[in-house]
Structures are given as C-alpha cells and as structure tokens.
Structure 1
Amino acid sequence: MVSEFETTAPDTTAPDTAAPGTAAPSPAAGDTAAIAVIGLACRLPGAPDPRTFWQNLVEGRESITDVPADRWDVTAYYDADRDAPGRTNSRRAGHLENVDRFDTGFFGISPREAAAMDPQQRLILELSWEALEDGRIVPTDLRGSRTGVFVGAIWDDYATLLHRHGTDAIGRHTITGLHRSIIANRVSYTLGLHGPSMAVDAAQSSSLVSVHMACQSLRNGESNLALAGGVNLNLVPESTVGAAKFGGLSPDGRCHTFDARANGYVRGEGAGLVLLKPLAQALADGDRVHCVIRGSAVNNDGATNGLTVPSRRAQEKVLRRALARAGVTGRDVQYVELHGTGTPLGDPIEAAALGAAVGADHEDGPALAVGSVKTNVGHLEGAAGITGLIKTVLSIKHRRLPPSLNFETPNPDIPLDRLRLRVQTELGDWPSPERPLIAGVSSFGMGGTNCHVVLAEAPEGEPASYGTGESGESGDSGGPTALVLSARTEGALREQAGRVRALLDERPGVRVRDVAWSLVASRARFGRRAVVAGADRAELVAGLDAFAAGGAGAGVAGSAGGRLAFLFTGQGSQRVGMGRGLYASFPVFAAAFDEVVAAFDGLLDVPLVEAVDGELVHETGVTQPGL
C-alpha cells in the first residue's frame, strides 16, 4: 500500500524568463517540486508496450498503413480532391490491432456492459493496470488511496458508431459506456481510488495537459500517486473526413516535420499512461525512477488571426515559464520533442518560438536537437502529448536519441542555423552526454491551449534495480528459485507461464531471481495459482514449458485456490544443521532465527545456535526448542 504524505506547494508566480546559469544539477531528493515517473504503459501503432515502442524508434520504423478493412472501407471515402463532399484526401494512418477485444472477466465487467463501453475506456483500464505493475505497485493494494487519474480524450467515435443503429440501440449502459468522463472514472471505480479523476479535453494538447494537472495535484497534496496520459481511437470515417475538411491531413500519408515537403499530418491512434509520484517519496519508497518531471506550464494563445492560428508569442511564453519552474535555462536543455505536426503554418511558428526561448541559449555550443514522434506513429491528437512524453522518457532512460523521420530539406520558412535548432535524423548520443540529460516536450491544441513539460534524468544514488530490468550479469546464483504465477482462469495461468518463458528466452540478461521477485511483490494475487521451481534457469524453463503446454512436470505445483496451512511436525523431524542453508541465503530468515535463539540464552547448557548444529540436536532438551 502506498503510504500517504504531504508535499509543499511550489511557488506559482514564477517569472516568464529564466535567470542565466550554468548546467542545471540533477533534482535533489528533497525537491518538493520534482515529480518522479515510476511507471510506463502504452499501446501504439506497431507497439503493444514501451519496450517494442523503443525498439521501433531506435530502428527508425514508420508504423503507418492504409486504413484496415475491418474499420471502414477507405476506397468509399477517399478522394484526392480534399474539397470533394464527404471524402478524405488521405487513406493512411497509424492503427492498433484488436481494439474490439477485451477481457471482461478480468475487470469484473459483464459482456453486455463491455459491449456498450467505448473501447477507449477498455484501453485505459488495461494500461492503468500495466502502468501500476511497471511501477511495482500491486493495483489491488491501492483501494482507498489518494491516487488520481487524469486522461486526455477528445473524440467520441464509438458513440457515432452506436448511434447509427438508432434509439433502439440505447440501453442501460449507454450513458456510462459513452460518456467521456467515465474513461478516467472507470479506473477509479475499478481500483477503488479516491484521488481526483477526470477526462481532459484541451484538443490536441489534452494528454500533456493531463500530465501537468497530475503534477500539480501531487504537489499540492490532493493526490499521493497519479496516473496521467491520454487515449485516441479512430473508429469511423466521420472524424477522419472532418480532419480532412479542416485542412490538416497530409495527402501522401506522411508527416514531414520541419521539412520543405510539410503538407499536413497523418492520423494515429493509441494510448499511453505514466505513473507519477513526488520524487522525494519515490526515493524514500525505493521506487525505480525512469526520469523526473522538473516543471511544466500551460497557457493559451488568446486572440490571434484566427481561432486555430497558433501564436508564436504564447508558445514562447509557455516554454520560458516551464523552464523557470524547472529551474533550468535554455542552455541546459539538450533535446525537445516537438509538437511537430508537419503543417506549413504550424511548423515555422513553433520553430520560431523554440529558437527564441531555448535555441538562443545554444549560440556557443551544440545546436538544440529536436524531433517529432508523429513521423513514426502519426498524430495521436488527444494522446499526442503523452506519446511524445513516453518517447522522451525512454530516450533519457536509454541515454540515446532516436531519429525523427521524413526530414530531408528544411522548410524555407525555418532557418534552423539561425534558430540554433537541429533535427535529429539518426540514432545517436545526446549532444552533451557528460552533462545532466534535460529535455522538453511540447504539445499544442488547435484552440490555442499550449503545454510544455521539462524532463530530467533520475538523480544519482537511486536504489538498486529489482524486477525484470536487465541486470548486466550473465547468470543466476544462490540456489533454487520459485516462480509464482497467478491468474483468474486456468487458461490465463498457463498463458502467463508461456509469457514468462518467452521473457527468459528473449532477454538472457534478466536474472530469474529478479523475475521471481516481481511476480511475488508487484503482481496482484488471483485465485488460480501455480509455482514453478528449479535449481537453475534450465529447470525453470523446462517447468514453464511443461505447464504452458498443459502439463505439470517436475518442480510444478498448481492450486485452484483454497487457504494456506502450515504443519508443524513435532519431535522426530530434527536434523543436524537444520536451517543452515536458509540462514546463509536469506537475511530475513537469519534475523528471525537470531532473535528466537537469543530468547533461549541462559536457559540451556549450550547456546541453542551451537546445539542445533551438532549431534546435541537429537537430545530432547535441545530438540524441542530447536524445532
């Protein structure tokens, strides 16, 4: 259970300009404004999880395809003429697979209610669970806690799909299934969370604004833990036709950020969440910290030349304010993940604002590296900001900058050299890896709501990592290991065995003891259980294979539930040196053993710890207390 604590609210009257300074230090453990990112989860085009997403980024993979036939018939709605009534001038987008699938039983939702739920609700439920597990927090342990949920979402495609069937299709679950607020509220209800819970609609900046709001909630103490992010699903042609008529879509189905070919964006879908906690508390709790949010800011363009025309001045102000709140200068920032839609109007305005607020401080050093994840997966609109944030978190964690795609010749309206900006076109190191890694993430909404978040690497002295992270060691040692599996159904239990087996096969650097720790300490416990034990990695792999295939080989024990019992056998089970192996391998056992035997000091002729280690253990006066 996450313990409750209070934090000090930060000064909210920070100036718009940052004072000049040298390289910013890493955030200190006592910094009440710093927020730790301790968990990640995402479902993005071509990437069902953060690990695959990072691999795609490193390889420079573009996950854009033609609209799948099981969504809608793109040929019936496509026309190269953008002005053709009821048609879209783009036939490509970034899509997820199997958005219609959902494990109703896992979340205790009836099939009838699940059918009425917007798939955006289902997706956020799944990712909430995954983000908590990535943060090594058992989801079921949070009931009653001040955990907040902030989710950006702007489209209601599923409602459009349902309403095609007329009023007869409306039922008792329709309102809760389609109402956008329930995307966040469903998570709070399912897990019993008592912190703030809301869907945020600030247009395309919604998910990054959600992260900003979550950080503020953590800083002022109304939340002690927070899930923040966004979701975006493109299920019907109407929303795509609308984007085409708005003039935003790229006819060639690619996003050419900052490039001379910039002609619009390509739509994308998916979702992402981060699990946040005040840095001081995260370090005190021994959490693994992926990176740190040092500061953020939100503003609006106000009155411009048009409702959807961005303001260079407002974007510059939000950048400067975020830097000031983070306590860093433009020179400290080495990379910025752009809003970067690849539009002829938006890109030059964003570049000018970024050059003035950040690039200008790079006159005497390497130019500021910039990139846009929209070139990989498309513009996720309501989930665009969280996608860029997760990319940047991973870039800090792995200390590498992945390439931004589709850039050849700079837009003539973007003087990169003068602005001191450089598009990151290849996988490479950070410009100054010897300095603290600090990055910014921008996201702007079409109605003028701008958000910028400043990230930094985790502070030095982080506790040793446990769980399924790479250990850097070639093998395991220390005796037998038990892998505890748990699921709601027998089929899911065996599937989990197969997934653990695949993990050990795909990542030989992972220690089985770390996997065993994660399965016990950071996973919920369900009614169906199995334990796979082995003296070494090979025995564990064999046991997992056998159980996954439907059998139960040596070292495998299963349970359909029931209560745990201990049997104390009494005199006759003693042996010389009993407990010696446990004492040497497990400090918790050793401490308990020392405490118990100390209680017998002065009551026996020989110290008990010595007696049980020799033949005296078979004498009744020693056997009884020894056992």
Structure 2
Amino acid sequence: MRQNDDADQIAVIGLSCRLPQADSSARLWELLRDGVDAITSLPPGRWQKRLSEDAELICERGGFLDRVDQFDADFFGISPREAAAMDPQQRLALELGWELLENGGITPERIAALRAGVFVGAMNDDYATLTRQRSSEAVSHHTLAGLQRSMIANRLSYLLGVNGPSLTVDSGQSSSLVAVHMACQSLRAGECEIALAGGVNLNLSFDGTLSVSRFGGLSPDGRCYTFDARANGYVRGEGGGFVLLKPLAQALRDGDHIHGVLRGSAVNNGGGDSLTTPSQQAQEDVLRRAYTAAGVRPEDIQYVELHGTGTAVGDPIEAAALATVLGSARPADAPLQVGSAKTNIGHLEGAAGIVGLLKVLLSLEAGELPASLNFETPNPDIPLADWHLQVQTERSPWPRPDVPLVAGVSSFGLGGTNAHVVVEQAPRVEPAEVVDGGPGQVGVVAGGGVVPWALSGRSAAGLRAQAVRLREFVTSSDASLASAGYSLVSSRAGLEHRAVVLGSDREELLAGLEAVAVGEPAEGVVSGVRREGASDVVFVFPGQGAQWAGMAVELLDSSPVFAERFG
C-alpha cells in the first residue's frame, strides 16, 4: 500500500444516526450484524388517504422512522409555532448534530470556539409540498426559513454558534457522500478545523413516492435485490446520519477516539452520456481518482459498499465499473467483497451515501463484514466470478484481517454526479490508563473511592430521560465507571436541571440512576436547578473557620487526583 500525505487523511471522531429500527450507531451495527430487514408497511398517519384514492403507486412499503412529527422544540430554544413551520429534516439534523458532538466528546462550548463547518446532503422537500397544498393561511413569517433547504445546514450552524462553511448539498442520491467529500476538502484547505457532515431524508409526501413509482424506480416487491437476478427497483428509506471529522494528525494529538480514517475521495459527473442513466466510464473515473487521492492500490481493497439500488440497469453498470478498476487487479481466488445496506433499510436517496459510510466504519471497528440481504442468484448481466466480485451473503471476518483494512463507499446521483470515499481502519493507539481498577474490575472503584456521575437536562423530564439512557448504556456494557464519570463531565453540556449520582460500585450507581429516572430522592443522589448567572466554582476553602479536624482526609485517601493537587 502506497502511503499518501498524512496531512491529507481525515479522522472520523464521532458518529450519529437515526434510521429504521436503529436510533444510534450501536443499534445500527446490531441491525446490520444480525441481518435485520427493517422494511415495513406504511406507518399510520402518513398518506393512507391519498393511497386509497390513487391506485397507481406500485408499492407503499419502505424503511420508515417512528414519530417524525415529534420534536423537543424547547430543548433547542425554538417556539412551538416556529417548530411547526420547520421542515422535519431541519429538526432531524439538529437532533443528529447534537448527538454527534456528544458522541465525539465535544461540548457546545468547545465547538463554538473552533472554526467548524457543517455539510448536509438533502434532495427532497416533501414538507414544503405538504405546506403548499394547504391554504395560504398555513404560510406565516416562519415559513420561508422553515422550508428553505439551505436552512438544514444553516440552522445547525446557528444552534452551535459556528462560523465555518455551512452548506446543504443537493447532487441527487449522492448528496450526503458528496457532502462528506466537500467537508474533507474544506478541512484540508484549512477553511475549518472540524466538520459535521452527513445527510437527512424523510418521505412525508405521497407525491414524492408517486414520482419515483411513475419513473419506474420502485420495486413492486418492496425489496432491494442488489446484484440479484430478481432486481426490479428499490424500496425507499428515510432517516439520517452524520460523521464528525478532524484532520488525523490533530485527532491523534487530541487523544480523540477514532472510528476510522478517510484516506481520500473523489466526485465527478457523467457529463453528456445520459441525464438519468448511469455512466460506466464516469464510475470508473471516480473510482480511479479516489484511489489515486488515497494512495491505495486497487488490490488492497477488501470490500466496497455499493450504491447498489437493485435496478436492472444500474446494477450491471456499477458491477462492470468495479470489475474494470478493482476486480481486474486481484486474483480469481481473492474476489472483492461487495454489499449494500439498502437491502436492510431501503434507499435513503439524499442520505444514502452516509448510511454506506457508517456501515463501513462500524464494520471496520467490529472486524466483521455483515451480510447483504436478498441475494440468491446473480443478475445474468453480472458474471461475478469472471469479474472477481463476490456478494457478501453472510456475516464473516474481513478476508485479510492481518493487513490494514481498507474499503470503499460508492454513491451515485440520478443526474450523473458520482462520489466514492476510501476508508481505512483507525490507527492503533495505546489505550488510556483505566483509573478504577483496570480490566476485570470496571465495576468497582479502586481504593473504595466514590465516583460522581453528573447528568443534566433542559427540563425535569429531560433529566429523567438522561438517567434512563445512561442506565441502559451501563447495564449493556462493561464501561469503566471512572471513564463514564469523566465523559459525563468533560463531553456533555451542563444544562439547567442537574443531578449527581455518587457510588463506589456499579450497583450503587445504577440504584442512583433509577432514583433519578423516576424522580425520587435517594441516598447518594444530589439534584437541583442551576440558577441564572451561577458560577462554576465547586470547591471553596475560605480559611474563615469553617474547617474541622480531619477535613478531607477520606478524600485524600480515596482520590489520587485530589491528593496530588492538595499536596
């Protein structure tokens, strides 16, 4: 593998997503790992009335989110009237952006001090269609900002108070991966120090799905048969995802948790070949450009996450381009593994590329490749064996786990704009020292000391919800108690309603979380509301006679950090 300039490599230091049956990156991995088919019938309240009136729609099934009409406007400082006028894609982007920073260990105060960019892919505006179908009384002074697609990115920049580039990218179905490419370019050019990049897509309008149906894009079966002989169109999906990006060298200096490295990427267009039919020549070109930019030999690629819509025209063209650029560079007994997340959750259109990128990043971290669903017999126009390609039909380790793991992600737009990103596993770094007892002792604090877990929320209900989420996380993981406490203090915003749970072992801390979750007082739990203008001072030694004999002796014995500072 030929190395490119380290300064060009971009680290992924945070992930967030809201997808069908997967409201976090951890649950997305569970869905992929277990081969879950998340395609369902139309949820209540969407467009059943229109569906009953218009029989032209080929298939109403899809990958849907629950409760897309619900939004905690008060949390984001937005009035109910303004929130009702906002495209739910804006609201989803706000939620995902906030969760992204938390997962990346960056507080709003820290992000505001950086030159941060926001790059969001989105191609649909169903909510604008629905609003305009109502009477003119539905239009208010909030409507323009609520429906303008540029505001999907701009409102997130406004929320965070960041001044870097802020763009909503629309290149059709490749929008979110193009947004990632643009974010990487902006970081390399020094336009921003950190970037939030991803995409959102919500299928709210009957007319939006009807247009895809009449175009001939939908599968009558409600399935995406990627590279299969049954390929007859795709099934629509919705949701969104984001990645938090930073130059690799800086991420290593900052000690960030790195999920993977974006080594290089490329974007192009098919030009005059065809407006709506994919160009094999253009796809070959974008692949070559991406791997040249990444400094990676084609034979070193172990897996490609396909655009893979499951269409009779698109699949053979994509396979032929891969065979020419990547398949021909490898021996027949080491075929290139390929697959598509669209077989699990549907085609997220403007947000499809970010889903593929998240899938690859999670696969790299897990050291496993999940199965691509709905594949039985190869499309007769895709001679897989001859082209040295193989559909990943079952969960397995990576083909060559002994060498650096490298994969590609493709995303192609209807108008011919193609994107490809080259992703490598995160560099190995020495783990930080565990404070509370080391491996096998994560449930007990060393020396019998006490660990504080700090929680906060905009409201009492929000605080209780945080306690529930933290309790679910702790009970399903073996996270270090002290590390969890440190993360809660250093990487979470300090909101108005607060609680601190104190405990010397896992059971005590879980009991305290349970008390906070139900809003009841308990030993080892301190709660309250932060007063306006309150300072951040937490320890005061005034020297005015408030001390007593033996004061802080227990803390000296149980807290090495306190003892070091005190001494």
Give the TM bin, normalised by the shorter chain.
over 0.9
CA-to-aligned-CA distance 1:217-246 (integer Å, 9 cap, x gap):
000000100000111100011010000111
Task: Say whether residues 1:282 and 2:232 are aligned partners.
Answer: no
Give runs of aligned pairs for residues 279-428 of structure 1, distance below 5 A: 279-304=248-273, 306-363=274-331, 365-428=333-396
CA-to-aligned-CA distance 1:179-219 (integer Å, 9 cap, x gap):
00000000111111100001000000000000000000000
Equivalent position to 1:491, from 461, 473, 481: 461
Match of 2:565 in 1: 592
Distance in 2, matches of 1:590 and 1:440, equals: 50
Aligned-partner SS, 2:7: coil
Superposed displacement of residue 493, structure 1: 1.1
Distance in 1, matches of 2:185 and 2:433, equals: 28
Equivalent position to 2:223, from 254, 257, 282: 254
Aligned-partner SS, 1:198: strand
Q: For the Cα contact (< 8 Å) 1:368–1:420, is it kept in 2?
A: yes
Distance in 2, matches of 1:578 and 1:199, equals: 54
Superposed displacement of residue 460, structure 1: 2.0
Amino acid at match of 1:208: L
Match of 1:481 in 2: 451
Distance in 2, matches of 1:230 and 1:295, equals: 19
CA-to-aligned-CA distance 1:392-415 (integer Å, 9 cap, x gap):
110001111000000000000001
Q: Are the structure 2 counterparts of residues 480 and 198 from structure 1 closer, same or farther at C-alpha, using a change threshold of 3 Å?
A: same
CA-to-aligned-CA distance 1:160-181 (integer Å, 9 cap, x gap):
1111112221110000000000
Match of 1:48 in 2: 23
Superposed displacement of residue 249, structure 1: 0.5
**Structure 1 unaligned blocks of 5 or more:** 1-22, 80-86, 595-627
Distance in 2, matches of 1:113 and 1:472, equals: 50
Task: Say whether residues 1:58 and 2:33 are aligned partners.
Answer: yes
Aligned-partner SS, 1:106: helix
Amino acid at match of 1:47: A
Task: Say whether residues 1:91 and 2:60 are aligned partners.
Answer: yes
Amino acid at match of 1:505: T
Q: For the Cα contact (< 8 Å) 1:286–1:463, is it kept in 2?
A: no
Task: Say whether residues 1:125 and 2:100 are aligned partners.
Answer: no
Amino acid at match of 1:122: R
Amino acid at match of 1:262: A
Equivalent position to 2:45, from 57, 67, 70: 70
Match of 1:452 in 2: 420
Amino acid at match of 1:264: G
Distance in 2, matches of 1:232 and 1:490, equals: 31
Q: Are the structure 2 counterparts of residues 578 and 400 from structure 1 closer, same or farther at C-alpha, using a change threshold of 3 Å?
A: same
Amino acid at match of 1:124: A
Amino acid at match of 1:280: A
Match of 1:545 in 2: 514
Superposed displacement of residue 462, structure 1: 5.2
Superposed displacement of residue 364, structure 1: 5.9
Distance in 1, matches of 2:288 and 2:553, equals: 62
Q: For the Cα contact (< 8 Å) 1:255–1:341, is it kept in 2?
A: yes
Superposed displacement of residue 88, structure 1: 1.2
Amino acid at match of 2:37: E
Q: For the Cα contact (< 8 Å) 2:408–2:421, is it kept in 1?
A: yes
Superposed displacement of residue 146, structure 1: 1.1
Equivalent position to 2:170, from 175, 184, 201: 201
Equivalent position to 1:180, from 142, 149, 155: 149
Superposed displacement of residue 581, structure 1: 4.9
Distance in 2, matches of 1:429 and 1:188, equals: 39
Q: For the Cα contact (< 8 Å) 2:51–2:206, is it kept in 1?
A: no
State which drifts further: 450-459 or 541-550. Answer: 541-550
CA-to-aligned-CA distance 1:473-498 (integer Å, 9 cap, x gap):
55332221111111111121122122
Q: Are the structure 2 counterparts of residues 56 and 454 from structure 1 closer, same or farther at C-alpha, using a change threshold of 3 Å?
A: same
Distance in 2, matches of 1:227 and 1:364, equals: 40
CA-to-aligned-CA distance 1:414-447 (integer Å, 9 cap, x gap):
0101111110010100000001000000000011
Match of 1:270 in 2: 239
Match of 2:10 in 1: 35
Amino acid at match of 1:36: A
Aligned-partner SS, 1:418: coil
Amino acid at match of 2:16: A
Distance in 1, matches of 2:141 and 2:493, equals: 31
Aligned-partner SS, 1:455: strand
Superposed displacement of residue 526, structure 1: 1.1
Q: For the Cα contact (< 8 Å) 1:501–1:545, is it kept in 2?
A: yes
Q: Are the structure 2 counterparts of residues 481 and 337 from structure 1 closer, same or farther at C-alpha, using a change threshold of 3 Å?
A: same
Give runs of aligned pairs for residues 226-265 of structure 1, distance below 5 A: 226-265=195-234
Q: For the Cα contact (< 8 Å) 2:445–2:481, is it kept in 1?
A: no
Superposed displacement of residue 120, structure 1: 0.1
**Structure 2 unaligned blocks of 5 or more:** none
CA-to-aligned-CA distance 1:39-94 (integer Å, 9 cap, x gap):
00000011111111110101100110111231011741664xxxxxxx21112111
Amino acid at match of 1:76: S
Structure 1 segments of 4+ aligned residues over 4 angstroms from their partners = 470-474, 569-572, 574-581
Q: Are the structure 2 counterparts of residues 205 and 472 from structure 1 closer, same or farther at C-alpha, using a change threshold of 3 Å?
A: farther
Q: Are the structure 2 counterparts of residues 462 and 279 from structure 1 closer, same or farther at C-alpha, using a change threshold of 3 Å?
A: farther
Amino acid at match of 1:490: A
Distance in 2, matches of 1:388 and 1:533, equals: 41
Task: Say whether residues 1:146 and 2:115 are aligned partners.
Answer: yes
Match of 1:114 in 2: 83
**Which of the two has higher C-alpha Rg?**
1
Q: Are the structure 2 counterparts of residues 572 and 489 from structure 1 closer, same or farther at C-alpha, using a change threshold of 3 Å?
A: closer
Aligned-partner SS, 1:229: strand
Cα RMSD for the two superposed structures: 2.0
Aligned-partner SS, 2:443: coil
Amino acid at match of 1:260: A
Equivalent position to 1:582, from 553, 556, 566: 556
State which drifts further: 44-53 or 570-579. Answer: 570-579
Match of 1:622 in 2: none
Equivalent position to 2:159, from 190, 197, 209: 190
Distance in 2, matches of 1:205 and 1:480, equals: 50
Distance in 2, matches of 1:205 and 1:500, equals: 35
Amino acid at match of 1:514: S
Aligned-partner SS, 1:89: coil
